[in-house]
Amino acid sequence: MAGRILIIGACGQIGTELTLKLREIHGNDQVIASDIREGAEELMTSGPFEILNATDDAHIREVIKEYEVKVVYLMAAMLSATAEKAPMKAWDLNMDSLFHILNIAKEGIIDKIFWPSSIAVFGPTTPKDDTPQTTIMEPTTVYGISKQTGERWCEYFHRKFGVDVRSIRYPGIISYKTLPGGGTTDYAIEIFHEALKHSKYTSFLAEDAALPMMYMDDAIKATIDIMEAPAEKIKVRSSYNLAAISFTPEVLANEIKKHIADFEISYAPDFRQSIAESWPSSIDDTTAREDWGWEPDFDLEKMTTTMLEGVGNTLKENA
Ligand code: AKB
């Protein structure tokens, strides 16, 4: 591989598993993890790590130079629920970090960028079911506005300056290795921890709040596949719709009950409910399937058994 890979935001929920997978593929010393804070032990000990603020342009450039980085995965972002509480901070983090990386690529210092977008780019006026790749986008959250703006800039830098930037609109990502931070879809992870610990869970979303979701392994596969696809196959340079599973809290609870018979769910929707209501229920990802061969492996059943086993083992190890 020509040049090393830098992950910015490597200690987050997706960053951690993405870094470990890329190290497995390319070799530990080829993948530089970086974040504003230290992360999981396996991540810290398996390869190079740098403390790096995603908004610090000069330091990003130093790290890229020092390690001869050619590919950047920019995973640092403030998610939907947290961003509502700190709008300007979220805007600065989500936008400044992207501009730094786009400009570094424009100057020819790096060759390729991965930047995650989200289903949050859609809003209440978007068709809710099977949301198309190209449609009305009027996001009403700070996070959604930053992601939609980011998509426009990615496409602009590609069209104007030939920057090779690739992106996916992640749905809610479900995993057990690293906890998520500040998302509206986080209930779908908390529910597994509470089901195994206490056989009950109070959902902060209503029983019928259907949202697009995906198991972590599928998200990592999609991220690596889109980055490895030949450039001419990546026809969308804003961001690709990506789908796997769609369910409501009630449907997920019923699936968990198949394994934990006395599991009980109750509902106390909070401010995150109105965010969920503004997002699609399900996504049409035909374009990603056709352009670069996307296909998910995990359905609701497989995701649920994998999560119960993974969270169960983690709870035993920590007991
Ligand atoms: C969130 O809930 O904010 C994220 C997302 C859908 O991008 N998980």
Ligand 1 contact, 80 CB (< 6 A): yes
Same domain, 30 and 101: yes
Domain match, 136 and 196 both: no
What is the pTM for the complete model shown?
0.97
167 part of a folded domain: yes
Give the count of beta carbons closer than 10 Å to the beta carbon of residue 9: 26
Do 145 and 204 belong together in one domain?
no
For the chain, the residue count is: 319
Closest CA to 62 of 10, 112, 116, 109: 109
* CB of 79 sitting under 6 A from ligand 1: yes
| Residue 147 binned pLDDT confidence (cut-offs 50, 70, 90) | very high
Residue 155's domain comprises: 4-172+214-241
Q: How far apart are CA 193 and CA 176, in angstroms?
A: 9
> What tens digit of pLDDT does each residue of 235-284 get?
999 999 999 999 999 999 999 999 999 999 999 999 999 999 999 999 99
Q: Count of alpha carbons within 13 Å of 155, Cβ hemisphere only?
A: 13
- How do beta strands 211-215 and 245-247 pair? antiparallel
Q: Report pLDDT for 157.
A: 98
Residue 182's CATH number: 3.90.25
In the chain, how many domains are there?
2
Q: Is 156 a catalytic residue?
A: no
- Of all atoms in ligand 1, which is nearest to the CA of residue 118? 7
Q: Which of 126, 173, 215, 246 to mutate to test the pocket of ligand 1 (most atoms within 8 A of CB)?
A: 173
One domain for residues 254 and 237:
no
pLDDT digits (tens, 9 = 90+) for 92-139: 999 999 999 999 999 999 999 999 999 999 999 999 999 999 999 999
| pLDDT for position 1 | 53
Name residue 245's beta-bridge partners.
213
